[in-house]
Amino acid sequence: MSVTRRHGDVEPIEGKYVHVEVEGVDHRIYVEENGEGIPLLCQHTAGNNCQEWRHLLTDEELTDRFRIIAHDLPYHGKSVPPTSREWWTEDYTMTATRFAETLVSLADALELEEPIYMGSSMGGNICLELADWYPDRFRALIALECGAHSPGFYIDWLDHPQVNTTEVNAYACWGLMAPQSPEQARRETMYLYEQGANGVFKGDLYYYSVDHDYRDKLDQVDAASCPLYIANGEYDYLTTPEDGRQTAEGIGEGAVAVELAEIGHFPMSEHPELFNAYITEILADVTGDREEELPEVMTPEDVGFELHPPAPPREAE
């Protein structure tokens, strides 16, 4: 799957802006896309941007069958704040209703028919709201690093003027990645976190740690109408594979939990080749092209992938 680039190569990713109304306000949202087929809408993690998905967007095996679309949420990346309001007079705060409406309104603005939605971390958690509030809008939901509740990360000093928040945010994410994921990819994931505007990461974490709480509402999630795949990395200590299994069990029919071995909280950017192999199998299940059920734990061996270097030995607990 690794592609060697030469001088003068032009990647086939196309970027554009689409105007999307959210809560009555016009937002100019940046999107990148590549491929043909079933629309696959990809949501970045808290405080980050669509560059997390650049390796998925250039995977020729997947873009032959899917129209892969990645976007920057408003206030993130190239999606600047709305020009119709004095946004600098208020704190940026993401809520569940705003987040879900943004994704549905974006899918509507792009005229996506029966798209698959996939998001990681806060983008994974929102799958529960999407399945609850908009079960008829998506073909399937793929919730990476998802849990019913993720408390403890809405922290005041994440936008304190005496704290270098971009560096703190980046290094906080370093420990969430698997140590055997390629260092270049892990460093790039950190680099992307260093690009965020002050207060945006914290504002996203309001949704992630405060507003999102489905512990007592999992029976409201309609995965029977919209299949839900919860895929959490083995090395993710925020939303562990066990959190994913418990969430799927609480939802019941239509919800499937898969543990992704040897990978962490940012699978699509920290180890893109392994992630692309994993997600190919999950997408095959969505489209009905996979004959066997997905395993409870998916390993590199299951997808014909050899780790370089191999995973370090675990210390006895």
Give the model's pLDDT for residue 5: 85
Count of C-beta atoms within a 10 Å radius of residue 4 = 5
- Can you give the pTM of this predicted structure? 0.95
Question: Whole-angstrom Cα distance, residue 168 to residue 115?
Answer: 35
Residue 174 falls inside a structural domain: yes
Give the model's pLDDT for residue 239: 96
Residue 308 falls inside a structural domain: no
Question: Whole-angstrom Cα distance, residue 202 to residue 183?
Answer: 26
Specify the residue for token string 């996203």. Answer: 204
Question: Whole-angstrom Cα distance, residue 73 to residue 258?
Answer: 27
pLDDT, averaged in runs of 10, over the chain (317 residues) = 81 97 97 98 97 98 98 98 94 97 98 98 98 97 97 86 84 92 96 92 96 96 96 96 98 98 98 98 97 96 87 66
Give the model's pLDDT for residue 56: 98
Give the model's pLDDT for residue 151: 93
Structurally, the chain folds into a number of domains equal to: 1
Question: Whole-angstrom Cα distance, residue 160 to residue 163?
Answer: 5
- For residue 81, what is the DSSP state? P
Cα 74 to Cα 11, 87, 97, 254: the distances in Å are 25, 11, 14, 31
Residue 7 falls inside a structural domain: no
Residue 185 falls inside a structural domain: yes
Question: Whole-angstrom Cα distance, residue 271 to residue 184?
Answer: 9
- Torsional class of 79: left (φ above 0), alpha (ψ -120 to 50), beta (otherwise): beta
Tell me what percent of the chain is helix, strand and coil, each rounded to the nearest 5. Answer: 35, 20, 45
Give the model's pLDDT for residue 307: 87
Give the model's pLDDT for residue 163: 85
Residue 317 falls inside a structural domain: no
Question: Whole-angstrom Cα distance, residue 49 to residue 45?
Answer: 7
Give the model's pLDDT for residue 314: 67
Question: Would you state the structure tokens that stand for residue 272, as one six-digit string?
Answer: 């893109």
Give the model's pLDDT for residue 164: 85
Residue 50 falls inside a structural domain: yes
Are 287 and 259 spatial neighbours (Cβ–Cβ below 8 Å)? no
Is residue 149 classed as helix, strand or coil in its secondary structure?
Answer: strand
CATH number at residue 290: 3.40.50.1820
Give the model's pLDDT for residue 317: 59
Residue 298 falls inside a structural domain: yes
Domain encompassing residue 261: 14-303
Residue 258 falls inside a structural domain: yes
Using only C-alpha atoms, what is the Rg of the chain? 18
Characterize 168-194 residue by residue with b for buried, 16 or more Cβ atoms within 10 angstroms of its Cβ, and e for exposed: bbbebbeebbbebbbeebbebbbebbe
- Mapping DSSP onto H, E and C, the string for 270-299 reads HCHHHHHHHHHHHHHHHHCCCCCCCCCEEC
To which H or E segment does residue 213 belong?
Answer: none
Amino acid letter at 149?
A: H
